[in-house]
Amino acid sequence: MHDRRFVRLLLTFLMVTVITTHAVAQTEPVSPSLVVGEIEIDGQDIFSEKEIENTNNGLRFLRRSMNGLHANTRHYVLRRELLFESGDTFNPDKLAETERNLRALGYLNNVRVTAVDTTSDGRVNIRVATRETWTLRTSFSYSLASGGDQRWNLQLSDRNFLGRGVTLGAGLGQDENASYWNTWYRQRRLFGMGLHLGIDYSSREDGYVRQVFVGKPFYAQGDAYTMNIRFWDNLADNRYYLSNAGPAGIDPTETDRLYALLPFHDSGVSAGFQWRVSKSDDGRIWRLGGGVRVRRTVFDLDEPGYLLSDGRIENLSWLAEPGQPFARDQGTTVFPYVWIHSLGRAWAKGRFILQYGPVEDFSTDIEFDLKAGPAGGNLGSSASYGESRFHVEGAFTKWTPLVGGYAVLRGAGAGDTGGRDVRYYSYDFVTGWIGAAGNQNSPWITRLFAEYGQGANLLGSRALLLGLDRGMRTLEFDGMAGDHLARWNIEQGKAMPWELAGLFRMGFAGFYSGGMAWWKDEDREKSGIRHEAGFGLRFGPTRSANSQIARLDLAWDLNGDGSPVITAITRGFF
C-alpha cells in the first residue's frame, strides 16, 4: 500500500510539472546590430555623503566609521560576475540575470544593471551600480525552554572578507545536546577557475563535524554544465524520536515528544554532474546528469539502558531487530542516480515578502530537482539488509503573483520502494500567500501559511518536528514529533516608514498559529492540536548582508495556563 501511495505521489508530481512547462517564458528577440560597449562599475559606500551629513553628530560618527572600517567590494569581484563583456551581442535578459545574481551574493544592496547610452555605431554602454552592505557580523542568540534546555550561540563572520567575496566565520555555543565551537570558509570562483570551495569544522562535546566540498555551480542559467564533490564525517549525539505507543512509550495519548540521545556517526562522499540539454536561450531550461552518493551511518546501541526525555531509563535493543527502521538504515548505502533539474526564465520583483524592504527576486515558473536510482545490496550496499530497492528524492517550488501579493507552493519528498522491511516515504508541502497593501514603503503585510507532512517507516532521526524552530512559539524546541505533521499561521503586520538609526526597518505584527505532530500508531484526538496567539516586533536589516526578518514575539498558549512566552527567531516562513 505504501508503494502504491508513493508511486501515485510521484506520478502526480510529474504530471503537474509537464502541464506547467507548457506555459514557459520566451526570450525576447535581440537585434544583432547592437553590441555591448563600455561597462562602468559604480560601487557606492554603505552610506552616501548626503546620508552622513543629514544626521546628528553621534549617528554621523557611526556612519562614517562603518564606511571607513568596511572594505568595499573589489571591482574585479563584480566584473567576474557579469554575464556579458564589451563586444558581446547586447541582450537585455543578460543584464536582468546579472542583476539578480549580484543581489543573490548577499553582500550588496540597491543593485542596478542598466543600459545608459547607445552610440551611433550601435554600441550600448552599461552601468553596474551597487551599494555596499555591512558584512562583518557579530551575532548572539539565546533560548531557554521551560524544561531547562538552553541554546546559545555567539558568532563572528564576514561574508565579503577584504572585499574579495570570501566568507570567513567562527563561533561557539551550546545546542540542546552539547556545547561546541565551529569555523567555516567559503571561496567563490577559486583561483579564477569558477570553482566554489567550502570548508566546515566543528568540535563538540559529543563529537565533531567535518565537511569539504568543491564544485562548479551554474553561475548563469545558460551555463553548459555543473559538477560537485563533497566529503563529510560527522559524529554527535542524535535525538532519536520514538512513538509514545511503541515499546518505549507508556501512554499512547501523550502529546509530548519522546526521544533518546544515541551516538551517531555519519560519513561519506558524493559527486554529481549535469549538462544543459536545452538551448541556452530556451524559455525553459532542462538539465540532465547523474552522480553517486556513498554514505555510512552507524548508531551506537552498546549501552544496556538509555535515558529517555521523560526521565526513564530503557533498554532499546529492540530497535536493532529486523523490520525496525533503525536496523534498516545501519551500514553503507551506495546510491547511483539520474539527476534532472528544470527551471524557467519568468521572474518577478517584490518587497516585504521574505525580507523586510529590500528588492527580492522570485521565479514565477516552477522549478524542480529530482534524483532517482537503485540503492540495493547488488551495488555494494550493506544497509537495508542488502535487499534491492529503488530510491527517489526531489523538491519543487512555484511562486505565483496573486491578488496584490505572492502565493507559494513548495514541496519535498524522499522514499524507497522494495520489500516491507526496507521501504519508506516522507513528504512535506508548504503553501502560503504574502500580500502587502497601502503605502509601498510602509505597507500592511498579511501572511497566510499552512504545512502538511507525512511519512511511513521513518527513522527516528527523520521525524517531523513541531516546536520553536518549526512554527510554534509556545512549544519546546521540538515539542511534538511524529510521522505526521500539520500546522498553520495567520499574521497581520504593519511596516514602519522609517529606519532605526538608518540600519533597520521595524514593524509590528499580531498572529495566530495552530498545529500538531503525531505518530500514526498513537491515540491522538483533535483536542491535542496546539493553539497560540500573540504579537511582536519585526526587524529587517537594510544595510547588512543578513537581510532575514528577525521576529521578537510574546505568545500565549491557548490550550494551557495562559502564561506568556518570549521568543526570538529568524528562520522559516512562519
522 near 253, Cβ under 8 Å?
yes
For the stretch 383-403, pLDDT in tens is 887 788 999 999 999 999 999
pLDDT above 80 for 143: no
pLDDT average, residue stretch 335-362: 91
Task: State the pLDDT at residue 500.
Answer: 83
Where b means 16+ CB within 10 Å and e means fewer, 487-514 reads bbbbbebebeeeeeebbbbebebebebb
- Of residues 300 and 285, the one with the higher pLDDT is 285
Task: State the pLDDT at residue 21.
Answer: 42
Surface-to-core class of residue 49, CB atoms within 10 Å of its CB (0-12 exposed, 13-18 middle, 19+ buried) = exposed
Task: State the pLDDT at residue 504.
Answer: 85
pLDDT above 60 for 10: no
Task: State the pLDDT at residue 27.
Answer: 42
Task: State the pLDDT at residue 147.
Answer: 57
pLDDT average, residue stretch 470-480: 87
Q: pLDDT band for position 242 (50/70/90)?
A: very high
pLDDT above 90 for 18: no
Helix/strand/coil for 342: strand
Helix/strand/coil for 131: strand
Mean of per-residue pLDDT scores for the chain: 89
pLDDT average, residue stretch 165-181: 91
pLDDT above 60 for 16: no
427 near 412, Cβ under 8 Å?
yes
pLDDT above 70 for 148: no
96 near 121, Cβ under 8 Å?
no
Sign of the four-CA dihedral 467, 428, 361, 406: negative
With vertex at residue 140, the alpha carbon angle to CA 139 and CA 145, rounded to the nearest 5 degrees, is: 145
Q: pLDDT band for position 564 (50/70/90)?
A: confident
pLDDT above 80 for 1: no
Among 170-179, 274-283, 560-569, top mean pLDDT goes to 274-283
pLDDT average, residue stretch 474-486: 92
pLDDT average, residue stretch 171-175: 90
Task: State the pLDDT at residue 14.
Answer: 47
Where b means 16+ CB within 10 Å and e means fewer, 515-535 reads bbbbbeebebeeebebbbbbe
For the stretch 518-527, pLDDT in tens is 999 998 887 7
pLDDT above 70 for 23: no
Task: List, in order, residues 6 or more apart from 176 with CB less than 8 Å away.
Answer: 149, 150, 151, 239, 477, 478
- Of residues 192 and 466, the one with the higher pLDDT is 466
Spatial separation of the C-alpha atoms in residues 82 and 99, rounded to whole Å: 9
Q: How far is CA 199 from CA 71, 144, 182, 186, in A?
A: 23, 30, 11, 7
563 Cα distance to chain centroid? 32
Q: Supply the pTM of this predicted model.
A: 0.88
Q: Report the chain's C-alpha Rg in angstroms.
A: 26
**Above pLDDT 90, what percent of the chain?**
64
291: β partners: 272, 337
Q: What is the set of domains in the chain, with CATH numbers?
A: 2-25+217-569 (2.40.160), 35-132 (3.10.20.310)
- Of residues 74 and 27, the one with the higher pLDDT is 74
With vertex at residue 73, the alpha carbon angle to CA 71 and CA 75, rounded to the nearest 5 degrees, is: 135
Query: Among the listed ranges 136-145, 367-376, 482-491, which one has the minimum average pLDDT value?
Result: 136-145
294 near 270, Cβ under 8 Å?
yes
pLDDT above 90 for 569: no
Q: pLDDT band for position 560 (50/70/90)?
A: confident
Sign of the four-CA dihedral 29, 34, 40, 44: negative
- Of residues 22 and 278, the one with the higher pLDDT is 278
For the stretch 81-118, pLDDT in tens is 999 999 999 999 999 999 999 999 989 988 999 999 99
- Of residues 356 and 204, the one with the higher pLDDT is 204
- Of residues 137 and 149, the one with the higher pLDDT is 137
Task: State the pLDDT at residue 144.
Answer: 63
For the stretch 544-554, pLDDT in tens is 766 778 889 99
pLDDT above 70 for 302: yes
Q: How far is CA 169 from CA 154, 161, 181, 294, 526, in A?
A: 11, 10, 11, 29, 45
pLDDT average, residue stretch 416-436: 93
Task: List, in order, residues 6 or more apart from 88 with CB less than 8 Å away.
Answer: 35, 36, 94
